[in-house]
Structure formats: C-alpha cells, structure tokens
Structure 1
Amino acid sequence: MEFLAPRRRPHLGARTPTRGRRGRRGRRGGSARRAGRSAARTSRARAAPVARVRGTRGRTRTNPEPARSEANTGVIAQRRMAAGAAIVATPTPDAHPATEASTEAVTEHGRPPAALPLPATLLGRPVFYGWYIVGLAFVAAMMSSGIQAYSLGVFITPMTEELGWSRTDISLGQTISTGMMGVLGLFIGGTLDRRGGRGLMIGGAVLAGLGFILLGQVRELWQYYLVKGGVVTLGMVGMGAMVVNVAVSNWFVRRRGRAIAISAMGISVAALLLPTVASAMITAYGWRAAWAVIGVAVWVVMIPPTWLIMRRRPEDFGLEPDGGRRLAAVGDAREERRSQVDAARWTRRQAIHTPALWMLILTFGLASMGLGAMLLHLFPYLTDTGFSRSEAAAGFSMIGLAGLLSKPFWGLAIERFAARVTAATEFLMMALGIALILAVDSTLSMFLAVFVFGLGIGGVVTVQETVWADYFGRFTLGMVRSIGRPFTIVSSAGGPVLAGVAYDVGGSYEVAFIVFIGTYVAAAVLILLTPEPSPPASPQPSLAAPEPVPATTDARHAAVEAPPAPRSDRLAGD
C-alpha cells in the first residue's frame, strides 16, 4: 500500500561517505535555502493584509495572504467555525478612534484611513466624530434653509412698495429659485456620494453670500430673477438641505433620527431670530443694507467651519456609523432590515424601477406644495388680517420656537415608530395648523395657531430625510435623492405662485390655504400606503478570494463575524 511505502528523500547529488567538512557544508547550504524560503514567506505575509484570529485555546494566529484553494478554504472555514473561532478586532491599546488609524484598516478604495482634524475627547469623554458633522449641519441649516425659507417673507412688503412689483412677481422669483434647485440637484447626487460635501458646501457658501449682497442692489425685475434664480440658487444647492442631510445620514444609522433632528434645529433657530432681526434691520437701515448683512454673515459663519469639519463617511477614517457601539440584537426584525437596507447599493436603473421611489416623490411633492407657500405668504397674511408688523413678526417666530422644541421629539419618534406612521402624523399636524390659522380672531389665537403649525414644520426635515435613508440606505442616497428632487421641486415651486395668484385675483389667501390643507391630508394617506422596497441583491463574495478584514480604530466597534480565509499550505497543520 502506498502509505506503507518508505518516504524517499529527494536526490540532492552524491553524498559523501563520511560526515566531513563537505557534508556539513552541504547541510548548511540546505539550511540557508530553507531560511531564504521562510524569509520570503515572511516578507509576503507582512506585505499582505493581516487578519488576526483568536482560536478556542487563546492563541493568536495570522493569515497573511488569501487562500489558494477553494476546497481547502471551505474545509478550514468549516473546521474553525465548528471550533468556535471568531475574528475579533484587535486595535492598538492607545489607538484614538478619531485621530489614529490602524495600519491594518483600509477604506473602500483600498487606501489607509486618513486622520480626522478634531479631537475625539471633550472634557475627558469620548466623542464620535459624527457629532461634529451634526454641529456643522446645524449651522448650515440655519444659514441656508433657514434664510431661504424665512427671509423673503419679511422683505416682500418693503421691496414691493419701493420697486412697484406685485406679490406674484416676488413669488415667481421664489418659484424660479426652487425649480432651479431641483434641476441642479440632478448633477450633485453622484458627486456627493463619491467625494462628499465639503467642496460643494464651500462653493455654495461663496455664491450664496454674493447672491444675497446682489439682492440688495437689484432695481429691475429681470435682475431680481437672475440673482434670486441663478446666483442665490447655485449657492443654496451647494450648502443646502440635500448635501448636509446626506452627510449626516452617512455618519448615523441607529441614531439617524435624533442626529438629523438636532441638525435641523438650525432652521428653527433661523425662524426664531431672523424675522425679528431682519425686520429691525429693515426699519433701521433699509432692506438693501439688510440683504448685504445677511450675505456677509453667510461667508463668515459657513466657510471656515466647513473647510475644517466636513468629511464624507466614517469608513474613510476607519470608523463605523454611530460610533459602532452596539450590535443589533439577534431576532430584532427592524434592526436586521435596517442593516440590510443600510448596506444596499442601488443603481439608477434599479431605483427608477422601484414603485416606492415614485410614491415617496408624490408624497413629499404634495407635502412641500404648501410649505413653501406658507412660509412665504404667512407674514403678509397676518399683516393683511390686521396685525401690526411687530405682532406678525412675533407670531411668525412661533414657527421657530415650536420647531426648536419639537424637533428632538420627532427624531426620537421616528427611531421608535414606523417611519410611515410618523410622517403621516407630521402631515396631519400641519393641516391642523393651517386650519387654525384661517380661524384666528385675536393675538393669542394667532400665536397658538402658528405654534401648532410650527410643531408640524418641526418634523419636516427630520421625517423626510430619515424616510429616504431608511428606504434606500446611505451609500447611494445622494443618487437616489437626485432622481426624486426635480419632481418634488416642481410641486413645491407651484405653491407660492398659487398663493400669490389667489391673492392678486381674489384679494385673499383663503382659497390657497384650503388647497394646502387638502394636499397635506392626501400626503398622509399616500405615505401610509407606500411599501418599503426590497434591497437589491448584492453579489456573494468568492471563497477563493476573500476581502481583507480591516481592524477598526475603536475598541467599541463591533466584531466581524465572518471567518478568515486560511492559507492552503497550512491545511495539514490545522
């Protein structure tokens, strides 16, 4: 039998009969050759990505290169899984989660993680870098969406009185701006996914500040349309809600609701302060000087922190979303689905052929139709009703106060309850607020009605951004949002014009406001009927060529559960 046959030694030449100097020298030569081969294997192991494996006996072994045999890989994987082996993250004891990157970690592009610019501890406590992104998003929301939504309503009366324009003329400028934002959004989604938002936000801040300064110099209607629909819009696209909210969604998954809610509080702060401050500046210095002050403020507040803080994704720096502090509990269906959706990568073709995409577009299109119109025309509606400018400004500020107080609750609610139910509740709250506004008959009732409407507005950004991310994940979220944004913008752009025409023709906003109540109710019904899409199938990795397992830079991050691919030449040893 073959296994009983004696093992024959390879012939290495004539052997000397004695153990003289020549024989010992020959054995030394063979040892040198073996040492050379061992050194070569060691150098290859150092060059290859290393996954550290902890077995059942506490020993740590390394697998320096991919398996060469698919069959051997399967055998070894089964043995190790049966023995209970698991890959564990082995960070350096002094590794800093936000400033140091492990030499074993690699990004999705195969490069070592870069260092982050801000400290990972404050007052002796660890801080996940994503919260710096949230802080920047708070400022960006205040200086972009906040100014865009809450500034023009204060400027309508003085601009129309001095320039002789109608309110429809002013509203058309807002409509042009909104429509252009939808068109331009088509071209930034892919860039946002690939490169992140820092360059877009800096360029947007430069253009937005310049546009606001130029608004204070317009004297003809075409100049207003050019500046408002061109320069200001380009700036708002770069540093607006889509860019900052995609960035926040990339850094958070489990805590996405509260993170977006905190960042969106910047809009509420703008709503709380801007009407009063802008109205005071217009009274003291005129509307032209007020626009110039707003433009300079955008430059000062936005450009330096954006350059310092904004980064694309945690994976680029060896981190995980949410700080990687907790694994989903086994059997938690919602957490398991969230993990599947978060890892999904959609193509444009797959997203376009998904019914849920078009239902969400229609839902948020109906909801946004009334939002832009109410924010633009609510201030003049209150003054037309008989309230003074100071009373109207104070009442309008209730939107900001209510939104500031309600945003954290909306964030926690959408983390705990189904996104569809939370969105429907928010739409119905806004419909109730508009109905109460139509029924005001005193200063107290006006404050209460606007406050209720503000409670609904407090959930707009949080709910919309979280719904999109929960439905389509975060890796291709910019691309998916860029598909739906033009259609949503067309609907929202028509709201201000509808309200302006209703006032110019009928002398009242009542008809338009009733239409907006109907659109919010329809949006609530439609979102409840929108199913969650199934994530696209991703190709299964080959056992013969596994991906290198990167070690994280934070000991709090979750362990990787897939077994390593062993070397085939160690099959006998295992």
Structure 2
Amino acid sequence: MSAIPATPAGRSSPSFATTVACLALAQLLCWAALYYTFSAFVLPMRDSLGWSKPALMGAFTLGLAVWGAASYGAGAAIDRGHGRRVMAGGAAIAGLGFLLWACVQSLPMLYLAWALLGVAMAMTLYEPAFSVVTRRFPTRFGSAITWLTLVGGFASTLSFPVTLWLIGAFGWRVALVAIGLVLLLVAAPLNAWALQGPDAPPRERHTDAADDATLHEALRHRAFWLLAATFMLYSVVSATFWAHVMPAFASKGTPEPDALTVLMWIGPAQVLGRLAFLGAGRRLTPRVLGLAVFAAMPLSLLLFALAGSLWALLVFAVMFGAANGLVTIVRGHVVPTYFGHAHVGRISGLLSVLALVPRAVGPLAGAWVLLVVPGYRELLLLLALVALLAWAAFVLAGRPARSG
C-alpha cells in the first residue's frame, strides 16, 4: 500500500463522472477476479494437484476471513484521507496474489496467496468504494453508488465465460497469470487515477455532521447489531452459493453450456434491478427496498434447489440476480441513512468485519454439510432458510431515525 504515492499538493480531483467511471470499471475487474473466479478453478486444481474439495475451499474461506478482519483497518484509513492508497494499493496486491496463486505447489502456498487476496478484497471491493465516494461526493453519493453497482453487476457475466475460456485454452496456471496482470496493469492504475486530489472540502459536507453518530454511538444502537446480523447471514449464503455453484450445477446434470447461460443471466439481472432502482429509487427508501430484496433471496434459492429445467433455472437467475444487485445498493445506503456521513469508513468497516468474518466459514461449512446430507439440493434448501433469517433480522432493525 505504501508504494502508491500520495497525490501531489494542488492537483485537482477528476470530475464526478470521470471518478465514478474509473472506479466502476475497476470494481468490475476486481469483483470478476477476486470473488467469482474461484469456483471455476476448483475442479481443474483438484484434478491437477490431487487436493480434496474441502482443502481447496479452505483457501477461499481464509481469504474471506482475512477480508472481514482487514475491513475495519481499510475503512479507518479512508476516514483519515487515504482512500487513494487503499484502493490502488489493494488492486496491486490482488494482482500479486493471483501471480502467487499461479505458482502454487503446496497447500500452504495456496493459503498464503488467498490471505493476500483477502487483504485485497478488503481494500478494493464495494465497501471501501462506497466509503470513498460518500466522502468525496457527500451530496451525490447515492448516484455514485448506483453507478458503481450498475457496472460491477456485470462481474459474474464477465468472469465465468472468460475464466473458463482461459482455463480451456491455456490451462489454469496461465489463466491466473493473465488475471493477475489485468489487475496490476489496469485496475490499480484506474483506482489511482480516479482518486487524485482531496475529498470534498468542508463547505460541501452536510451541515448536520456534528449530529452524525460516532462508531461508539453506533454500537449502542440496536439497529446496528440487527443490520450486522442481516448482512452476515446474507454474506454466508452468498459466499457458500458462489463457491459451490459449478459443482451444484454438475450435481443436477446440467450441461456446462446451460450452466454458463444461467450464470451469465445473473449479471444482467443485477443491472436491470439497479436500473429499475435508478428510475424509481426516489420513490423507494432503502428500508422498503431492503424488505423486498431480502424476501426475494430465499425464494430464489428455493427455486434453484427444486428446479429441474433450464427455464426454471433462468427464472432463478433473474430473481437472484435482481435481488443480489439491489442488496448491494441497500448496503451502500445503510450507514449514511442510519448513522450519518462523518464516520462512514469506520462504521462500514466494522459492519464488514461482523458480516465477512462469519461469512468465511460458508464455503468450507458447505463442503462439510455435503458430507452428511444427500446432496446439493439439501444444501441449497439450508441456504434458503438462512436467507430467510436475514430478512427477519432486517425487519427487526426498524426504520432509520434519519432520512439519509
């Protein structure tokens, strides 16, 4: 992170549109690489190296745990004005992590690579980006978050076909090198360019900043802990689903081209959901939106578990994708809406710690569950139940005291 220089004094910040466009493209690349590719490498690595599926899932689990553990530090650094170093440095660390992953010959080396990638996740994925744009554009952060998630919503659509093509054409090690170079040479410079210059000057900040909750004040709110439970349960479900999605399709007997078709619809569905919010968002509070999308998550997973045809799986993809995309917008609005803008990095970072550290057990726990249940259908039914508990926690969190 220290390799990213501070912005020279006096250099002006790029425009709102330029900043958001560069950050959005970097989000697309980082999400596609860091979050979605792992499942595509599980079977090739198992066949090549002979390691068990639980052992491989343990690496992803470690990455998710480190992501959660490092999130508060990343948020605190952003609150201190180091957003550029955090996000550009994180993308560079991600690239190095992929290059290390490409060289693995032992499980400890794989786990070391994923520890680095976990740090990179904490420094690059949505939460730090939301904190940065909330600080830089305090009167326009909602629009910035929506555009970041609109572009980032195509990550799964980009990731699976490109990754599987690279693996099929060049092998899994070369595929990892290619992904690492894209992160180093494209994503890191994009973040560095977008975040030149200072955050918004004091006169542009909300006049009621003194009334914004500090981290310690937020911790005394019942809503904080219920929101933490909501996003923790949702994160466990999401991480487990994405880590096991390709084997789950294989267990259904779904041909790989059909599975790719389903997965490629999730990204556009995320974007369509976010576009619908862009058109109707002013008439929907984050609270109302959250109630709807957290209800859709268990329904979509139930459909996936029971679906026996391609058409049913496509309906799942649209429902799951739209809900998954809108959950991200809800998450981006939660801290400013409930607790204000002044300490958004620290509060968001702690929420991420509480959500992402338990999330880390999801992929590995899923592998263990598969040892005692008949198959993936039962695992998916269990995930639908956990998603229902996330909706219940959000209901109990109640209405925010401020309007955002």
> What is the TM-score with the length of structure 1 in the denominator?
0.64
Q: Tell me how far apart the structure 2 counterparts of residues 474 and 257 of structure 1 sit (CA, whole Å).
A: 12
Q: Which amino acid aligns with 1:238?
A: M
| Other-structure match for 1:236 | 121
Q: Tell me how far apart the structure 2 counterparts of residues 412 and 249 of structure 1 sit (CA, whole Å).
A: 21
Q: Displacement of 1:155 after TM fit?
A: 1.1
| Other-structure match for 1:486 | 353
The C-alpha deviation readout for 1:223-277, integer Å capped at 9, x for no partner, is 111111x221222222222211111222445654442121012332221121001
Query: Could you tell me the percent identity over the aligned residues?
Result: 25
- Sort the Cα spacing of 1:344 and 1:190 in 2 relative to 1 into closer, same or farther, 3 A: farther
Contact in 2 for aligned 1:341/1:472 (Cα 8 Å): no
Contact in 2 for aligned 1:185/1:485 (Cα 8 Å): yes
For structure 1, which segment, 345-354 or 193-202, has the greater mean C-alpha deviation from structure 2 after superposition? Answer: 345-354
Asked if residue 468 in structure 1 is aligned to residue 335 in structure 2, the reply is yes
Q: Displacement of 1:290 after TM fit?
A: 0.4
Q: Displacement of 1:278 after TM fit?
A: 0.8
Q: How does 1:160-559 map to 2 (within 5 A)?
A: 160-228=46-114, 230-252=115-137, 255-311=140-196, 314-316=199-201, 320=204, 344-532=211-399
Q: How does 1:103-114 map to 2 (within 5 A)?
A: 114=10
Q: Displacement of 1:380 after TM fit?
A: 1.7
Query: Quick one: which of 3, 9, 12 aligns to 1:116?
Result: 12
Query: Quick one: which of 29, 33, 37 aligns to 1:151?
Result: 37
Contact in 1 for aligned 2:69/2:357 (Cα 8 Å): no
Q: Which amino acid aligns with 1:269?
A: F
Contact in 2 for aligned 1:215/1:227 (Cα 8 Å): yes
The C-alpha deviation readout for 1:55-92, integer Å capped at 9, x for no partner, is xxxxxxxxxxxxxxxxxxxxxxxxxxxxxxxxxxxxxx
The C-alpha deviation readout for 1:279-301, integer Å capped at 9, x for no partner, is 11111110110010000001121
- Sort the Cα spacing of 1:251 and 1:344 in 2 relative to 1 into closer, same or farther, 3 A: farther
Q: Displacement of 1:353 after TM fit?
A: 1.7
Q: Tell me how far apart the structure 2 counterparts of residues 356 and 468 of structure 1 sit (CA, whole Å).
A: 11
Q: Displacement of 1:200 after TM fit?
A: 0.9
Q: Displacement of 1:495 after TM fit?
A: 2.1
For structure 1, which segment, 286-295 or 232-241, has the greater mean C-alpha deviation from structure 2 after superposition? Answer: 232-241
Q: Tell me how far apart the structure 1 counterparts of residues 194 and 378 of structure 2 sit (CA, whole Å).
A: 46
Q: Which amino acid aligns with 2:344?
A: L
- Sort the Cα spacing of 1:508 and 1:340 in 2 relative to 1 into closer, same or farther, 3 A: farther
Alignment root-mean-square deviation, CA: 2.3
Q: Tell me how far apart the structure 2 counterparts of residues 177 and 450 of structure 1 sit (CA, whole Å).
A: 26
Contact in 1 for aligned 2:142/2:333 (Cα 8 Å): yes
Other structure's SS at 2:371 match: helix
- Sort the Cα spacing of 1:134 and 1:494 in 2 relative to 1 into closer, same or farther, 3 A: same
Other structure's SS at 2:351 match: helix
Q: Which amino acid aligns with 2:391?
A: A
Q: Displacement of 1:520 after TM fit?
A: 2.0
Q: Tell me how far apart the structure 2 counterparts of residues 263 and 271 of structure 1 sit (CA, whole Å).
A: 15
Q: Which amino acid aligns with 2:70?
A: L
For structure 1, which segment, 217-226 or 345-354, has the greater mean C-alpha deviation from structure 2 after superposition? Answer: 345-354
The C-alpha deviation readout for 1:170-202, integer Å capped at 9, x for no partner, is 222111111111111222222211114101112
For structure 1, which segment, 443-452 or 423-432, has the greater mean C-alpha deviation from structure 2 after superposition? Answer: 443-452
Q: Tell me how far apart the structure 2 counterparts of residues 254 and 511 of structure 1 sit (CA, whole Å).
A: 46
The C-alpha deviation readout for 1:341-400, integer Å capped at 9, x for no partner, is 766443332222222211111111111111111112112211221122222122211111
* Matched length: 394
The C-alpha deviation readout for 1:207-227, integer Å capped at 9, x for no partner, is 110111111111211211111
Contact in 2 for aligned 1:142/1:270 (Cα 8 Å): yes
- Sort the Cα spacing of 1:455 and 1:342 in 2 relative to 1 into closer, same or farther, 3 A: farther
Other structure's SS at 2:51 match: coil
For structure 1, which segment, 189-198 or 130-139, has the greater mean C-alpha deviation from structure 2 after superposition? Answer: 130-139
Q: Tell me how far apart the structure 2 counterparts of residues 356 and 519 of structure 1 sit (CA, whole Å).
A: 19
The C-alpha deviation readout for 1:121-154, integer Å capped at 9, x for no partner, is xxxxxxxx33333212212321223322211111
Other structure's SS at 1:186 match: helix
Q: Tell me how far apart the structure 2 counterparts of residues 509 and 341 of structure 1 sit (CA, whole Å).
A: 50
Q: Which amino acid aligns with 1:320?
A: E
Q: Which amino acid aligns with 1:157?
A: L
Q: Tell me how far apart the structure 1 counterparts of residues 168 and 66 of structure 2 sit (CA, whole Å).
A: 32
Other structure's SS at 1:259 match: helix
Q: Tell me how far apart the structure 1 counterparts of residues 395 and 101 of structure 2 sit (CA, whole Å).
A: 42
Other structure's SS at 2:153 match: helix
- Sort the Cα spacing of 1:202 and 1:277 in 2 relative to 1 into closer, same or farther, 3 A: same
Contact in 2 for aligned 1:212/1:294 (Cα 8 Å): yes
| Other-structure match for 2:4 | none
Q: Displacement of 1:497 after TM fit?
A: 2.0
- Sort the Cα spacing of 1:152 and 1:259 in 2 relative to 1 into closer, same or farther, 3 A: same
Contact in 2 for aligned 1:137/1:248 (Cα 8 Å): no
Q: Displacement of 1:534 after TM fit?
A: 5.3
Q: Displacement of 1:439 after TM fit?
A: 2.0
**Structure with more of its chain in helix, by fraction:** 2
Q: Tell me how far apart the structure 1 counterparts of residues 359 and 292 of structure 2 sit (CA, whole Å).
A: 20
For structure 1, which segment, 275-284 or 164-173, has the greater mean C-alpha deviation from structure 2 after superposition? Answer: 164-173
Q: Tell me how far apart the structure 1 counterparts of residues 385 and 377 of structure 2 sit (CA, whole Å).
A: 13
- Sort the Cα spacing of 1:138 and 1:430 in 2 relative to 1 into closer, same or farther, 3 A: same
